[in-house]
Structure 1
Amino acid sequence: MPKLIPATAGLALLLSLAGLVHAEEKSVPLSVARAELLAKGWKPVETFGVDADGRRWNQQGNAGEIYRAGIIEVEECSGTGQNFCSFNYGRKGKCLLLQSRGEFKTGEYEPLVFRRSSTCPTSDLDQAAHQK
C-alpha cells in the first residue's frame, strides 16, 4: 500500500494537473492531487449512485472510509482488485474526474491518482444540491 508522503513531493507533477496532465503521467497520492486542485479553484462535487436497498455507493466499503474522512467527492470504489475509485470536481461549469487505485486508511495510506479526464458524472447518478 502507498504510504503518505509530504505534499511537496508530487507538486512538480501537479502544476498542470487541472489542464495538461495525461493518463501517461506518473501516479501521485490523492492528498497531493486534491490539494493542488482545491488551490486552483476546483470544488468537490458530491456524486453517488444508490443500490436497490437505498445505500449510497460513496458510503460503502473503502469509499465510505474516504467519505467519512471528509473527501465527499468520492463517487465509488470498486472494492476488489486494485480498488479503483472515482472522484468528481467542478469549476466554472467544467468537470474533472480523478481515478485512483489502492486502499485508503486515514493517517496510514492512501490511493494513488493515475488518471484524470474532463468527464462529467452521468445523469443517472445523484449530485448533492451543493458543492462544498
Structure 2
Amino acid sequence: MSPLRSEVLPAIRLSRRAKLARVVAASALVSAALVSGPAADSLPQGMDGLVVVELRRLPPPPEPVEAGFCDHLLVEPGTAGGVEVAALGWAVTGEVSLGGFEVVSFVGGFEPGTSGSCRSNDGNVALFESDQLRWLVYGEKGASGRIGSIQPFEDRAIRIWGGDFLPQPVADLHVDASGAISLAALADEEQFCDGEATVPNIYGMPIAAAREELASAGWGPLLGILPGEPADSRAEALKAAGIYEVQSCSPTGFGFCSFRYSGQFSELSVVTVGEGAPSATPEVARYSVSCATPGVE
C-alpha cells in the first residue's frame, strides 16, 4: 500500500467513484477501492480537471479500441501493467518507469484529423507496482484538456502530454522517495546533454518571445538553410521581421515552421504551429535537442 493516504467520508468516496465511472466504465468499479488523492493546485490552464485516485482494479473500455489510421500512436506494451491494460481492450500509448512504479498511459479511442493528426479520447495514466494497479490519473468529465501519452522527463518525473490533434505537454507527474504521487505544472526548464544544455519552457510561446527566452539560456540563432529546404513566402516574411533562423514553413495543414539554434554543446530544433503574422508569430509546438557527443540526448 502506498504511504499516500487520505481519510474521506463515505459520501465523498462514492462521489469520487461516480466521477471516475464516467471515464473508465462504471460496470467494473463496483468493487474498486477508491481514495481521494492529491490534485495539483497549479496545473496549466485547461488541465485543472486532472485528478489522481487510488485504484486497485481497472475496468475495460466501453468497447475495444480500433486504432485504425491512428495506430502510429500506439506502443507495444512491455510491462506487466501495460500488458494487462492492453488485454482489457485499451490502447496503450506510453510506458515509463519511475520511483518503483511502471507507469502506463492509455486511451479509449481515437478521432482522425487532418495532416495525419489524431485526437485521443478517454485518456488515463495508471501506476503499477509490478502487476498491481495502485494509482490512476484521469481528467474529470467536462475538463477542457485530455490525456494522450507520457514520456520521461529527465530522470525525475514523467511528462503527461495532451491528446488533442496538436498535443502539448500538460503536467508533470512526480513520485517522491516515500512513493507519494503528485501532479505539478510543467517545469520551468528541461536539461539535456548531461546537464550541459538547458531549454526553458517555451511551449505555446510565439516564436518571437521564445527566441528571447532561448537567448537568455545560451541559445543563438543558427543561420543558413538546411540542404533541400525549399524557400517559401511565410519563411521569408519571418526573416524580414528579424527571425533569421527560420528554415521553412508548410503552406498547408497546421502551418508548421521550423527553426534552428546552437548552443555550446548542442543544437536545438524548434517547430511552431499556426499562421501568425510576423508581428504576432506562430507558437511553439515542440522542440528537440541534438548533443555534440554522439548518443547523448
TM bracket, shorter-chain basis: 0.5 to 0.7
Q: Based on CA coordinates, which of the two structures has the bigger radius of gyration?
A: 2
Give SS of 1:79's match. Answer: coil
Aligned residues between the structures: 101
Counterpart contact for 1:83–1:102, Cα < 8 Å: yes
Q: Which runs of 5+ in 2 are unaligned?
A: 1-184, 191-196, 292-297
Q: Does 1:111 align with 2:111?
A: no
Decide which structure has greater strand share. 2
Match of residue 65 from structure 2? none
Displacement after TM superposition at 1:43 (Å)? 0.7
Following TM superposition, by how much is the alpha carbon of 1:110 offset from its aligned partner in structure 2, in angstroms?
1.6
In the alignment, is residue 16 of structure 1 matched against residue 189 of structure 2? yes
Change (3 A) 1:118 1:91: same
Q: Secondary structure in 2 aligned to 1:71?
A: coil
Gaps of 5+ in 1: 1-11, 121-132
Contact (CA 8 Å) 1:30, 1:110: kept in 2 or not?
Answer: yes
SS in structure 1 of the partner of residue 189 of structure 2: coil
Structure-2 residue corresponding to 1:36: 213
Give 1:14 deviation, angstroms: 8.3
Q: Does 1:46 align with 2:223?
A: yes
CA contact (8 A) 1:65 1:104 kept: no
Does the residue aligned with 1:37 lie in a helix, a strand or coil?
A: helix
Which whole-Å CA distance do the structure 2 matches of 1:111 and 1:105 have between them?
7
Amino-acid identity (%): 34
- The normalised TM-score by structure 1 is 0.63
- Residue 81 of structure 1: CA displacement? 1.4
User: Which residue of structure 2 aligns with residue 60 of structure 1?
Assistant: 232
1:21 offset after TM fit, Å? Answer: 6.5
Moved over 4 A (4+): none
Q: Distance in 1 between matches of 2:248 and 2:289?
A: 17
* Structure 1 residues 75 and 20, CA gap change in structure 2 (3 angstroms): closer
Which residue of the other structure, out of 21, 27, 52, is the alignment partner of 2:204?
27
